[in-house]
Amino acid sequence: MVDKGGALEVAMAAVGDRWSMLVVAALLEGPLRFGQVADAVGGIAPNVLTARLRHLEREGLVAATPYSRRPLRLAYELTDPGRDLAGALALLTTWGARRQGTEGSRHHETCGTAVETRWYCPTCDRTVDDAEADELRHV
């Protein structure tokens, strides 16, 4: 299925680079100061982190709140749309773990079974199989 409506293009423009996704993943734990984000991400140059945080802020995914006025120091946290990326990051993490040959799936806390991600139609109250998934379209 090709994204003919441009939704994937919009998403990739917002968070489609390596550092932005890692910054969002770090902020899923809660608000962090600049140095804490840098430590959580690891290996990112300060100027690159500054650029990514500003970009994510312009996209409405991150909010910066001053915790010191002189000198100006900011704490960063995800907005609701930023937190909405948690599911996509979980899927990418699982996919990456499989590519590494490691166990990356999430497990149901109650029984310990690996959970699966499936397309689900709430109107029909059923999962959508692979054949139907090819027919999915963005509205």
Using an 8 Å Cβ cutoff, are 26 and 38 in contact?
Answer: no
| Of 43, 3, 1, nearest in space to 23 by CA | 43
Q: What is the reported pLDDT for 78?
A: 98
Report which residue type is found at 110. Answer: T
Cα of 100 vs its chain's centroid, Å: 20
pLDDT of res. 139: 47
* Candidates 1.10.10.10, 3.30.930.10, 2.60.40.10, 1.20.810.10; CATH matching 7-83: 1.10.10.10
pLDDT per residue as tens, the chain (139 positions): 556 568 888 888 888 888 999 999 999 999 999 999 999 999 999 999 999 999 999 999 999 999 999 999 999 999 999 999 998 998 888 888 888 888 767 788 899 887 777 778 889 899 888 777 666 554 4
Token couple for 11: 């998403």
What beta strand segments (E) does the chain contain? 32-33, 62-69, 72-78, 120-121, 126-127
In terms of DSSP bridges, do strands 126-127 and 62-69 run parallel, antiparallel, or are they unpaired?
unpaired
Instruction: Report d(CA 47, CA 116) in Å as an integer.
Output: 38
Please tell me the distance from the alpha carbon of residue 10 to that of residue 51, in angstroms, as a whole number. 19
Q: What's the pTM value of the predicted model, to 2 decimals?
A: 0.78
Per-domain residue ranges for the chain?
A: 7-83
Give the DSSP letter of residue 90.
H
